Amino acid sequence: MEAPELVALLAGRRVAVLTGAGMSTDSGIPDYRGPDSPPSNPMTIRQFTSDPVFRRRYWARNHLGWRHMDDTQPNAGHRALAALERAGVVTGVITQNVDLLHTKAGSERVIDLHGTYARVICLQCHRTMSRASLADLLEAANPGFSDRAAAVGGIAVAPDADAVVADTSSFRIVDCPSCGGMLKPDIVYFGENVPKERVDEAYSLVDGAEALLVAGSSLTVYSGFRFVRHASAKGIPVAIINRGHTRGDDLATVKIDNGCSPMLALLADELPAAGATLTR
């Protein structure tokens, strides 16, 4: 497999990386918008906060799905980006994913743009707790639920740590132990804004780089696409690796229609040698 134009563009440059759900498909987490993805309706913040039935269904599904995401392991693409960071090529990763796989792979500068599945926040007092701690509370409130759900069929995990569960009508949700407020995964849902300081940190990462590499994102959501627009406006070259069309194709210097893992593994082999004279 060769992608000489991609290697030529990135060689000798310090590279900021933006990743999306296509980055994690090889780890068994499905993509929302890939060409082979089933139809999916991601959670909106309005649904979560305004509909008690919807919220109960969400927590029941998440109670099962987060455990599968917690067990998921990084793939070759995640490991390649971590290796490129150690080699001084990659300056950091902005990820739209909530799966923590970049961190598990060893990447050190990771901006979790949309939060992570592993933490929960109270919408009233804003205290946080680990998802594992909430799991204990939910299990105590719903003894045997996990075993019963697993017994009636397989559990399919979605990109936001959701899972498919047939019957959630008897599931009991848990409120904030501190104030009794509504608990929510510390994830930015559709209709919410990414915290400004997080966005500013991501812009700073792009500004300090000499190229932006997009891996596994259709860039449909503006929260990721804005960094491609920003890089392009500043004259920073943009490379995109993604299966299928992306919203940023017209702004890309190089577009590779391929999977992330093989292409990033190739870059991990080629770029450190090609960029041996990088200015640190």
Residues at the binding site are 20-40, 96-99, 122, 125, 176, 179, 216-218, 242-244, 260
Q: Long-range contacts: 207-210, Cβ < 8 Å, 24+? A: 207/234, 208/14, 208/16, 208/91, 209/13, 209/14, 209/15, 209/16, 209/91, 209/236, 210/13, 210/14, 210/15, 210/236, 210/237
How far is Cα 45 from Cα 189, in angstroms, rounded to an integer?
6
Set 63, 78, 102, 114: catalytic member: 114
Q: What is the pLDDT of residue 186?
A: 95
Q: Tell me the whole-structure pTM to 2 decimals.
A: 0.88
Least confident of 136-140, 153-157, 223-227, 230-234: 153-157
How far is Cα 93 from Cα 84, in angstroms, rounded to an integer?
11
Domain boundaries, the chain: 1-29+74-114+193-280, 39-71+115-187
Q: What is the pLDDT of residue 185?
A: 93
Q: How confident is the model at residue 145 (pLDDT cuts 50, 70, 90)?
A: confident
How far is Cα 105 from Cα 85, in angstroms, rounded to an integer?
11
Q: How confident is the model at residue 85 (pLDDT cuts 50, 70, 90)?
A: very high
pLDDT surpasses 80 at 35: no
212: β partners: 16, 238
Least confident of 16-30, 32-46, 198-212: 32-46
Active site (annotated) includes residue 114: yes
Question: What is the C-alpha radius of gyration for the chain, rounded to an integer number of angstroms?
Answer: 20
Residues at the binding site for Zn(2+) are 122, 125, 176, 179
Nearest Cα to Cα of residue 43 among 154, 150, 161, 142: 161
Q: Across residues 34-57, what is the average pLDDT?
A: 75
How far is Cα 218 from Cα 241, in angstroms, rounded to an integer?
10
| CATH, range 39-71+115-187 | 3.30.1600
Query: What is the CATH topology of the domain spanning 1-29+74-114+193-280?
Result: Rossmann fold (3.40.50)
Listed in order, strand segments (DSSP E) in 171-252 are 183-187, 211-215, 238-241
Angle between helices 222-233 and 196-207 (to 10 degrees): 30
pLDDT surpasses 90 at 190: no
Task: Let me know the angle formed at the C-alpha of 114 by 112 and 118, rounded to the nearest 5 degrees.
Answer: 70
Q: Across residues 17-45, what is the average pLDDT?
A: 75
Q: How confident is the model at residue 159 (pLDDT cuts 50, 70, 90)?
A: low
| Cβ count within 10 A of residue 265 | 18
Give 214-270 pLDDT, tens digit per residue: 999 999 999 999 999 999 999 999 999 999 999 999 999 999 999 999 999 999 999
How far is Cα 89 from Cα 70, in angstroms, rounded to an integer?
29
Cβ-Cβ contacts under 8 Å for 95 (sequence gap 6 or more) = 18, 19, 20, 23, 102, 110, 111, 112, 113
1-29+74-114+193-280 and 39-71+115-187 share one CATH topology? no
Q: What are residue 133's phi and psi, to 5 degrees?
A: -65, -40
Q: How confident is the model at residue 278 (pLDDT cuts 50, 70, 90)?
A: very low
Q: Across residues 194-204, what is the average pLDDT?
A: 97
Q: Across residues 48-57, what is the average pLDDT?
A: 92
Mean pLDDT of the chain: 89
Phi/psi region, residue 104 (left: phi>0; alpha: psi -120 to 50; beta: rest), is alpha
Residues at the binding site for NAD(+) are 20-40, 96-99, 216-218, 242-244, 260
Read off the tokens for 244. 């299928």
Q: What is the pLDDT of residue 279?
A: 41
Give 3-20 pLDDT, tens digit per residue: 899 999 999 999 999 999
Q: What is the pLDDT of residue 69?
A: 87
Proportion of the chain in helix, strand, coil states, percent, rounded to 5? 40, 15, 40
Q: What is the pLDDT of residue 43?
A: 73
